[in-house]
Structure 1
Amino acid sequence: MSEVLEGAPVGESAEQDTTLKKNAIGLSEVLFQSITAMAPAAAVCFAMTSAYGLSGASTPLAVFLATIACAFIASCIGQLAIHIPSAGGMYTYISRSLGAKFGFLSAWVFLLAQPLLLPYVALIWGQYAEDLVKLLTGVDISWVIWTIIGCIILFALTFYGIKLSADASVILGAIEILVLLTLALTMIFASGGHNNLATFTPAFSPTGWSGIFQGMIFAFLAFVGFEAAAPLGEETSHPRRNIPLAVIFSAIGIGLFYVLASYASVIGWGIPAISGYANDATPWADLGKKFWGMLGPIIISFVIINSSIGNGNAGINATSRVAYAMGRVGALPASFARLSSHRTPSFAILLHTVVSAIITIGCGLLFGISGASNLIGTALTLGLLLLYFASCISTFVYYLRKRREDFRIVQHVIVPLVPLVILCFVFASQVYPIPAYPQNLSLPILAVWILLGIGYMFYLMRTNKEALARGSEIFLEEEGSEPAELAEAPA
């Protein structure tokens, strides 16, 4: 029951090869799938900017709390990935743990939240590419053009094989981390006596803890993507070991990087003047100029574009594999399970790329770059936080019901509970006080999408009930004992 489907999707010949390429990538590639899906440089320089307006110079505290929560969430996802490696990722995990209906709705939310990462980062690379080219050449090429060019590049990277795409992730991810880490350390050491660890308390938050929790939504936005390794479970060697390690190591490692970078930016900018940080369109470019001279903004702009492209590359991989898994079992049309000659989900990749370009350009023109970024970023973050919430619950339920012999109080009760409590406060902060327009549209958009998913689920229950049930049955290999090194891993 628990083997990957070797047959074809509904309506296709059983002889047709519809399986992804097994053992195509290893730990380093799948680790950087998660790392680049988080877009560390773009997250630090762009995504977290709005947090400074809410948490002030205490933003490092908001980032630190988000790091703790995400590390625990990653541990929960990793615990599920040990036994259920699948292209469906959390779709399969939650189906297997909480039932087919919850699993389907989780996949439905994923198909709103994860694909929105590409429009979000397209707004970033489009804006920075326009500004950089204009600075270097004097030629003003609209961000719309750069959005289209970037999407074409990403289509090629993801269509022509997972190995090409994964290798690109390793290179792009290494570049952005090295450059930003160097600048962060430069700011900390250059600031000398101005370093202040009180930034890790609510002391500098304009509205105390309320500001911390509001700022955390943008801190979580920076983490979105650490789970992106999970849908590559069928293409990774030793997936029951490598997928959990990739998810956990990326969340913890990049989380610590975020803490360091947020602290460095507060100190480098100056605590008394931090209110101006959130209102600056390119704060890290200005920090680069302050500490590295005229070359600083150019280097930072290149790194942000690099980071955004890396994020889009990883995001397309994750989204297309989940859509493939759903198409394979009949929860989506069979065309989503169609593979190219390079063993990649061709229709899902093409659709994702085209729709993302349309959303990017449409929202950017309608709301402006900043407004569109806040709306798209909040919507996708809230959607993925719901999935993280469900993953924590799934870990407890799965091990209690199906892996009782491996059930551990710390790993399967306490670790899931901590992020659940934190996430409740973060969600509450999005309800009151109500965010500014157009960010306040994010919750209604998510609610409407979920209602549409419930309607589609009832349609499937009447027309193809087996498709829902199969969502919990398709994963790579028979469940067995936990790998020893993971079973003994700390929470």
Structure 2
Amino acid sequence: MAVSTPRPDGATSSQQPTSGGLTRSLSVWQAVGLSVALMAPSMAANINPQGTAGTVGRAVPLAFLLAAIGVLLVAYGFVRLCQYFHHAGSVYAFVGATLGPRAGLVSGFGLLGTYCFYGVVTSSATGIFGTAFLQEVGIWPSPPSWAPFLLAGVALVAALALTIVPARRGTSVLLTVEGLTIALILVISAIVLVRLVSGNVPAGAPSPDAGFTLDVFTVAPGTELSAVFLGVVFGFLSFAGFEAAATLGEEARNPRKDIPRAILGTAVFGGVYFVVVTAIEMMAFGTDEAGVAAFASSPSLLGDLGSSYIAGWVGDLITLGAAISAFGCCLACVVGASRLTYAFARDTRRDPARASGLAATTPAGTPAVAAIAVTAVMALVQVVCAVGFDAEAFDTFLWSGTIGTLILLVAYLLTTVGAIRLVFIQRRMPAVPRWQVVVPVLALVVLGYTIYRNVAPYPAHEDGPAFWFPIVAGGWLLVGLVAVLVAPAMAQRAGAALTAAELGAREEEQLAEGQAPRDSATRRIQ
């Protein structure tokens, strides 16, 4: 394959394959599309805050505010790393190039697990919202209990098909469908907020206590502040995916600028969006005991508010929008997971000249075999939950979401440590002021404490599925760790590939700046 051709602005020429076989054809907005779609703001605002309410009560917006701060701190590390590396492996490449190939493979395998579990989450949500919409409009008046699983299967097949076609089309679809549903939610949220501020709360509101109040940013008496961090995990679940654009580092036209912009812009937007929307939702439901109970049991927060504050048909539109958002997120999960799998296979293959199996790409430049593999894993998890554990679709959503987020927090932690080493210890980016080290250090504090609060005290066996969440998350990471320990040659090949990718990127930058490339043997990743 031909190496991408640098342009004077530092970008690579459009449609030129990189050395790995992917094609540089994506704009910054298409990178934003993948991150926003994987974050799925429309779906998340409808179904994620309920899990937080059971722990923190009325302080759901406070938990999301803390999660937003944590995500922005983590985003700093991703931005710095994406300014230095552009690789389809995302955290696998970032951690591997800074902390060593073994750590990179483990962290990348962790992120792959997150994307696979989130693919289960979002396909389940597509089935849940899709079934509810068909029932509400009378198309499927009495759907059986397995109906959401059927629609979840359809969503996975459709996501696979859109992943295999050129990424230009897939990411355009993501941005379009998610943008429409977000716009609808913002309009409804604005209408509800006006009614709350004016005191014009409808008689059909979930609680007579509904009204504008800043109490939603305080913890109710009797609730410990530390308990907020149990709810923060659902905030991270909502933000998860802001970093997805990093997997398009080998497909963006100008990765050194476009990918960092996409990641930071998505994180900032998500922070403002989720804090504001969850605050409006909680105020509209009411902050008293009845309101919090109605909030926690709502099948669709904005759907219920649209029906009670505006009109019944608005609830149907919100439910449909949530289903579309969930499908867009499912598609982004398959896209991100397939890129990670492709990067693993490409960098660890014994014959670098032979691109076969999971390391193969289609003539259009997409990793089709890898996409089929990750979709099969997502479908298998669905089947195991439904058949082996007699789970309903919402159980599958909740279980997979919690497991995936716990894994993701570990991947974020390793990435942040890698950013600290790259920028402030190895000083490979000397222009960055040293005082900025406080940002990733604070990110480590937030991530570490959130993980700690979700495993200590450890859930009792009587707590049901919660007992197994840390075990499954830790087991997934343990599989990756064992694999790199028993197969050291695989880690060595990955290290060599990451070294070549880093040096190749540096040579591209030097050519773009009109400099002669330096000796490519002057630096190796240990």
Task: Give how far 1:61 is off.
Answer: 0.7
TM-score by length of 2: 0.84
d(CA) in 2 for partners of 1:323, 1:130? 32
Partner of 2:263: 247
d(CA) in 2 for partners of 1:441, 1:464? 30
Aligned AA for 1:25?
A: L
Structure 2 SS opposite 1:24: coil
Q: How does 1:214-225 map to 2 (within 5 A)?
A: 214-225=230-241
Task: Note if contact 1:284-1:300 (Cα within 8 Å) is conserved in structure 2.
Answer: yes
Pick which of 313-322 and 466-475 moved more. 466-475
d(CA) in 2 for partners of 1:466, 1:256? 42
Identity of aligned residues (%): 23
d(CA) in 2 for partners of 1:463, 1:52? 45
d(CA) in 1 for partners of 2:362, 2:222? 53
Task: Give how far 1:144 is off.
Answer: 2.0
RCO greater where, 1 or 2, for CA within 8 Å and sep 6 or more? 1
d(CA) in 1 for partners of 2:243, 2:429? 25
Partner of 1:209: 225
d(CA) in 1 for partners of 2:345, 2:391? 34
Task: Give how far 1:157 is off.
Answer: 0.9
d(CA) in 2 for partners of 1:104, 1:331? 14
Partner of 1:12: none
Closer, same or farther in 2 for the Cα pair 1:206/1:22, shift >3 Å?
Answer: farther
Structure 2 SS opposite 1:237: coil
Aligned AA for 1:200?
A: F
Structure 2 SS opposite 1:277: helix
**Is 2:461 the partner of 1:439?**
no
What is the CA RMSD across the aligned residues, in angstroms? 2.3
d(CA) in 1 for partners of 2:115, 2:395? 19
**Is 2:214 the partner of 1:197?**
yes
Task: Note if contact 1:37-1:311 (Cα within 8 Å) is conserved in structure 2.
Answer: yes
1:328-372 deviation line (CA, Å, top 9, x unaligned): 111699511111222110111111122212312432453323332
How many pairs are equivalent?
468
2:450 to 422, 426, 429: 426
Aligned AA for 1:107?
A: G
TM-score by length of 1: 0.90
Task: Give how far 1:395 is off.
Answer: 1.2
Partner of 2:307: 289
Task: Give how far 1:420 is off.
Answer: 1.2
Partner of 1:395: 419
d(CA) in 2 for partners of 1:223, 1:206? 28
Closer, same or farther in 2 for the Cα pair 1:205/1:350, shift >3 Å?
Answer: farther
Report which of the two has the higher share of helix.
Answer: 1
d(CA) in 1 for partners of 2:345, 2:231? 37
Closer, same or farther in 2 for the Cα pair 1:464/1:415, shift >3 Å?
Answer: closer
Partner of 2:243: 227
Task: Note if contact 2:83-2:256 (Cα within 8 Å) is conserved in structure 1.
Answer: yes
Task: Note if contact 1:58-1:205 (Cα within 8 Å) is conserved in structure 2.
Answer: no
Task: Give how far 1:43 is off.
Answer: 0.8
d(CA) in 2 for partners of 1:370, 1:433? 26
Partner of 2:253: 237
Q: How does 1:37-76 map to 2 (within 5 A)?
A: 37-76=38-77
Aligned AA for 2:414?
A: A
Partner of 2:506: 478
Q: Work out which of the two has the higher radius of gyration on C-alpha atoms and give 1 or 2.
A: 2
d(CA) in 1 for partners of 2:499, 2:221? 44
Task: Give how far 1:106 is off.
Answer: 0.7
**Is 2:433 the partner of 1:408?**
yes
Structure 1 SS opposite 2:128: helix
Closer, same or farther in 2 for the Cα pair 1:469/1:213, shift >3 Å?
Answer: same
d(CA) in 2 for partners of 1:344, 1:323? 12
Task: Give how far 1:200 is off.
Answer: 1.4
d(CA) in 2 for partners of 1:120, 1:48? 15
Task: Give how far 1:154 is off.
Answer: 0.8
Pick which of 170-179 and 219-228 moved more. 170-179
Aligned AA for 1:233?
A: G
Task: Note if contact 1:91-1:471 (Cα within 8 Å) is conserved in structure 2.
Answer: no
Task: Give how far 1:464 is off.
Answer: 6.7
1:137-176 deviation line (CA, Å, top 9, x unaligned): 3522611221121112111111111011011011012112
Aligned AA for 1:353?
A: T
d(CA) in 2 for partners of 1:158, 1:319? 10
Structure 1 residue runs without a partner (length 5+): 5-15, 484-491
